[in-house]
Amino acid sequence: MAKAKMTTVFYCQNCGHESAKWMGQCPGCREWNTFVEEKISAKTAAPSLTAKERREAGTPARLSEIALKDEERMSTHMRELDRVLGGGIVPGSLILVGGDPGIGKSTLLLQVCRHMAADRRKVLYISGEESLKQIKIRANRLGEFEDSLFLLCETNLGIIEETMRHHRPDVTIIDSIQTMYQETVSSAPGSVSQVREATNVFLQLAKGMGTSIFIVGHVTKEGTVAGPRVLEHMVDTVLYFEGDRHASYRILRGVKNRFGSTNEIGVFEMQEQGLAEVVNPSEFMLDGKPEGASGSIVSCSMEGTRPILFEIQALVCRTNFGFPRRQAIGTDFNRVNLLMAVLEKRVGLQMSDCDAYVNLAGGMRISEPAIDLGIAMAIASSFKNRPLDDKTAAFGEIGLSGEVRGISMIEQRIQEAVKMGFTTCIIPKVCLRQVKNKNAGDARIIGVSSVQDAMDLII
Ligand code: TYD
Ligand code: MG
């Protein structure tokens, strides 16, 4: 019997670049130490289609000839998820869901199954990680399930492909891509070539059968989905499920979406009976805000079309060492350093012998420059040990000369602050003319043009 010919290739874990020999630096993405060895058996099968069949299959179509009968989206009945997906699941789409272990990916997707099944849609949940009994235990926590949900514990791609073709589900869940393996590829499940092969199979199935497939992907310690980057290129939508594991809220963020905007986020709370949607994230983020404490102020960030209020906390204290410590949780460390330098130079706050800690309470991660003014005011308030008014929110970008620059969507931010009961908003002076009185209500709107102006407001 002829032995399958095995060849060794090296793949870059980061970008999927293929090479015949090992290299220290990848020529594709310039990353170091990313090449791994994989053995693959070379396929020598003859092409499966005849020339005539190939010609017929490859007939191009005119744009006007394409009928859009399937363009309607399937609602998941979870508003937060629908929003991130751009209005629901597009039939035939491939959606990758990444996130840390234990963050709630399987729970979220089982809940999607529950809602889709209640809609009389055929759903297939394929798990390579848990047994049927384990899934049943989880399902019992989530509530009643309709009978149109089917479960399968399998990791062999051949069997899965056959089952899907036979069963023709509307929605399929693959939990997780790193456990799936193709027999013809000899490397271990989770390796670059297996992950790529498996994704390819699901891509063909999704586009060919029109079933929508959710793929769970594990993340590496750098926070990207394990396996080659090409995985993210192949799928239609990439969602990341993130949040502090010690806190109960979770954020679903779109990183790529061929059918919608990637700015939107979905906010959930992990409860006893699974994930609950958080309809008013600002209220959630401001829960437990201290009153009358120095170094605390509320700011507002736009997540897509949605304004979210959150608390910025700063603690500035004299250092015990020669070298002051600086730490930022939830925002960019370098940005905090830059703002401290601006405060030293433009306002004259001498903080070179002080430790400084900045924290966005609630565990949000925000890099929008519109929160600069809030950070600067929190730092100054802590340094001077003077509390800011509890009902004040501040938003604006700060430039290197200490000027407060304009920001976008000022009205939505003010509206959200007013809705949450804030009575004073400190905003960039240049934005004042965009504010209409009807949005501000009774709130006092103060325009500042420099950091110095803002400092004068700290009692
Ligand atoms: P899971 O969905 O298994 O995470 P992943 O698939 O991302 O690894 O999430 C499991 C965590 O969620 C686990 O620590 C228990 C918790 N959990 C709840 O708090 N309530 C629930 O109703 C369920 C099902 C899980
Ligand atoms: Mg899981």
Chain segment 378-409, per-residue pLDDT in tens: 999 999 999 999 899 999 999 999 999 999 99
| C-alpha 186 – ligand 2 centre gap (Å) | 25
Percentage, residues of the chain above pLDDT 70? 93
The mean per-residue pLDDT over the stretch 283-311 comes to 88
What are the φ/ψ torsions at residue 296 (nearest 5 degrees)? -130, 130
- Give me the residue label for tokens 């049943």: 136
Q: How far is the CA of 129 from the centre of ligand 2 (A)?
A: 7
pLDDT at 361: 84
Check pocket membership of 299 for ligand 1, CB cut-off 6 A.
no
The pLDDT, as a whole number, for residue 314 is: 95
* pLDDT above 90: percentage of residues in the chain: 50
Distance 104 CA to ligand 2 centre (A): 7
Given the structure tokens 């586009």, which residue do they identify?
Answer: 207
130 alpha carbon – ligand 1 mean position (Å): 13
Provide the mean pLDDT of the chain. Answer: 87
- Identify the nearest ligand to the CA of 248 by its number: 1
For the stretch 134-153, pLDDT in tens is: 999 999 999 888 888 999 99
Number of other residues whose CB lies within 10 A of the CB of residue 159: 13
What residues does each domain of the chain span?
A: 6-41, 72-279, 284-456
The count of residues in the chain is 459
Query: Does residue 53 surpass a pLDDT of 90?
Result: no
* Average pLDDT score over residue span 358-363: 86
pLDDT tens, residue by residue, 171-224: 999 998 989 998 888 788 888 888 888 999 999 999 998 899 999 998 876 666
pLDDT band per the 50, 70, 90 thresholds, residue 41: low
What number is the average pLDDT over the span 92-96?
Answer: 93
Mean pLDDT over 110-129 rounds to 93
Contact of 162 with 179, CB cutoff 8 Å: no
Is the Cβ atom of 99 under 6 angstroms away from ligand 1?
yes
Neighbours of 183 (CB within 10 A): 10
Question: Cβ contacts of residue 1 below 8 Å, gap of 6+?
Answer: none
Q: What sign results for the dihedral spanned by CA atoms 446, 452, 458, 459?
A: negative
Return the biggest CA–CA distance within the chain: 88
State the average pLDDT over residues 319-336.
Answer: 90
Domain 72-279, what architecture? Answer: 3-Layer(aba) Sandwich (3.40)
Which residue minimizes the CA distance to atom 1 of ligand 1? Answer: 104
Asked whether 272 lines ligand 1 (CB < 6 A), one says: yes
CATH of 284-456, one of 3.30.420.40, 3.40.50.300, 3.30.230.10, 3.50.50.60: 3.30.230.10
User: Identical fold at 72-279 and 284-456?
Assistant: no
Q: Please say whether the beta carbons of 303 and 263 come within 8 A.
A: yes
C-alpha span between 216 and 237 (Å, rounded): 12
> Which amino acid does the sequence have at 61?
A
pLDDT of residue 31: 84
pLDDT at 1: 45
Ligand 2 ion: nearby residues, β-carbon < 5 Å:
106
Q: Is the CB of 274 under 6 A from ligand 1?
A: yes
For β-strands 35-41 and 6-12, DSSP reports them as antiparallel
Q: Of 168, 140, 174, 189, whose CA–CA distance to 38 is shortest?
A: 189
Q: Comparing 411 with 2, which gets the higher pLDDT? A: 411
What distance in Å separates the CA atoms of residue 448 and residue 373, rounded to the nearest whole number? 10
